Amino acid sequence: MRGELYFRNTVLDKQMDYSPLFLSLWVSVLATSIIAILGTLIAYVLARKRFFGRTMLDAFTTLPMILPPTVTGYYLIILLGKNGIIGNYIYKLTGWSVMFTWQAAVIAATAVAIPIMIKSAKAAIESVDLEYEKAAFTLGKSEIETFFLVTLPLAKKGLIAGLVLSFARALGEFGATIMIAGNIPGKTSTMPLAIYRAFQSGEDQLATTLVIILTVVSIAVIYITTRISRTD
């Protein structure tokens, strides 16, 4: 069968480099973990708190979703490049620059995917009736306790949906990643970047193999998370 032969020659080929797959998973899982905490926190603040500069925070955290990823990548370079606004202090202090590292890939994935989580989480938290939180206060629970005991469980579905979408976005991130992390095989060449590189250099078989792997992994992730959220 053509399928088997094809698979044997590419996927099981000893020379096949699986590092893009592991790199992509590592970067996406890490980015999603950061987003889970940071995104939920920002969403809570935007949903429940009134303060000066609230609209600005809302607009600022939505920006990476609207800007083309390459533009976001450009701003990240201005911020974190060796001579960047923050980057140059880091370099002076530690002699280390984030450019062309897997950490940069994580930063790029986080930056482009976090607005998705914030939007989802904000809507989910707002949908929790304030009366529940007020009731928890009168029953002696602090704001943090109330968040974990009442708000979070009631907003669970929306939060999970947001995380799944964020993970998908992080997994497929290309534009900002290639700008700030480069496309260095074994180091920062995530799946989308590896596919691009293989395609560019005419390695169509490799490109196709990588595409199939990425598609299968993505479908598996969506399937698993849909099953989890449906068991409620």
Give the C-alpha separation, 109 to 102, whole Å.
11
Q: At closest approach, how far in Å is the CB of 158 from other proteins? A: 14
Please say which residue, 26 or 100, places its beta carbon nearer to other proteins. 100
- Cα separation of 63 and 211, whole Å? 29
Give the CA dihedral 162, 148, 124, 57, nearest 10 degrees: -80
Binding site for other proteins (CB under 8 A): 81-83, 97, 99-100, 129, 131-132, 134-142, 149-150, 153-154, 178, 182-185, 197, 199-203
Distance set, CA 155 to CA 62, 115, 188, 203 (Å): 20, 17, 35, 46
Q: How far is CA 176 from the centre of its chain?
A: 12
Q: Least Å distance between CB 12 and other proteins?
A: 23
* Separation of alpha carbons 55 and 58, rounded Å: 5
6 vs 199 by CB, closer to other proteins: 199
Nearest approach, Cβ of 116 to other proteins (angstroms)?
25
Whether residue 229 contacts residue 158, with contact meaning beta carbons closer than 8 Å, is answered with no
Lookup result for tokens 């529940």: 132
Q: Which is nearer to other proteins, 28 or 188 (CB)?
A: 188
CB of 90 to other proteins, least distance (A): 13
Shortest separation between residue 146's beta carbon and other proteins, angstroms: 9
Measured from the CB atom, is 115 or 192 closer to other proteins? 192
Which one, 68 or 185, has the nearer CB to other proteins?
185
